[in-house]
Structure 1
Amino acid sequence: MSHDLLAISNLLYRYAEKMDGGDLAGAAALFRHARIKVPGSENHLDETGILRVWQQRLKIYPCGTPRTRHVISNPIIEIDAASGRATVRSCYTVLQAPPGRALQPIATGRYHDEFERIDQQWRFCFRDYSLLDLTGDLSLHLNGL
């Protein structure tokens, strides 16, 4: 069971690492087998759809990153080992330090994720990406604001 906890936790943290590193395609690939609920849509996105949204919406700076740090916290991980399924409820805080600006929190919210184990490997199968709770200044993070 501890191996399962570590593997699932690492998926959460790998997502944050890839986003903060500007590897949007790598972050999207984590959701290759997942449905993603986004705000304002009844339809779920897949890997290609979420990558397109990120490429259109996120500002990437000359350093190749969005100059962010996603902090994933308070994960509540519930594993059903017999069925090879798990759910995770966690919190996130996004910090940003755009050029010429101080480090500041720009968003907090929650992720509700579902995972499945296939051939002894855990993977995302669902993410509710719509649970944004509080926002700061997103104008240097998102295009179109």
Structure 2
Amino acid sequence: MKNKISDERAIENLMVAYAFANDDADIARLGELFKDATFWIDQMSAKGKEEISAVATSMIQVLENGRSATTHEITNIIIEIAQDGLSASAQAYWTLYKTVSGEPRTAVMSGRYSDKFTFGKDNWHFLERKASVLWQLEKP
């Protein structure tokens, strides 16, 4: 039996799973999270497991330890479950930190996620993620 609190928690877990997969450079997991979804970063988009995996492979800088050079933090999450309990939307802020060898971790970008989810086969799934950049560190 579904309930609003467990639905919200499951959706929040999906949102955070993206951050962990990205920071762990887990391309397969990123593709799986968005296998039937579209991911937008400003005007660029990728749809489905293969496209999302390809974009992630081209964008994620992998360190010697096998992890990404980035850390994603997701805050101020608002989740709205539709009355039918089969779709939902969410908003959140994100901050991207980058690790450069020999330098402290630095915030390099922040923005907002606008997400859509669908419920099917006993689980919530991403339907769409729009990442809007609100701030970016200016490079000297």
Shorter-chain TM range is 0.7 to 0.9
> Residues 81 and 122 (structure 1 numbering): CA distance in 2 closer, same or farther, change over 3 Å?
farther
Aligned residues: 136
Instruction: Write out per-residue CA displacement over residues 63-86 of structure 1, whole angstroms, 9 at most, x where no aligned residue.
Output: 111232110011111101415100
Structure 2 contact 30–52 (Cα < 8 Å) conserved:
no
1:20 and 1:47 map into 2 onto residues whose CA distance is 18
Alignment identity in percent?
26
Aligned-partner residue type, residue 21 of structure 1 = D
Runs of 5+ unmatched residues, structure 1: 139-145
Between 11-20 and 30-39, the greater mean CA deviation after superposition: 30-39
User: Aligned residue for 1:36?
Assistant: 39
> Residues 57 and 137 (structure 1 numbering): CA distance in 2 closer, same or farther, change over 3 Å?
farther
SS at match of 1:61: coil
| 4+ long deviations beyond 3 Å | 38-41
Give the 5 Å matches for 1:1-145. Answer: 1-41=4-44, 44-129=46-131, 131-136=132-137
User: Aligned residue for 1:143?
Assistant: none
Deviation at 1:137, TM superposition (A): 6.2
SS at match of 1:90: strand
2:35 and 2:137 map into 1 onto residues whose CA distance is 30
TM-score, normalised via structure 1 length? 0.85
> Residues 16 and 23 (structure 1 numbering): CA distance in 2 closer, same or farther, change over 3 Å?
same
**CA RMSD of superposed structures (Å):** 1.8
Runs of 5+ unmatched residues, structure 2: none
Aligned-partner residue type, residue 116 of structure 1 = T
Structure 1 contact 69–94 (Cα < 8 Å) conserved:
yes
1:28 and 1:107 map into 2 onto residues whose CA distance is 23
> Residues 38 and 103 (structure 1 numbering): CA distance in 2 closer, same or farther, change over 3 Å?
closer
Deviation at 1:29, TM superposition (A): 1.1
TM-score, normalised via structure 2 length? 0.88
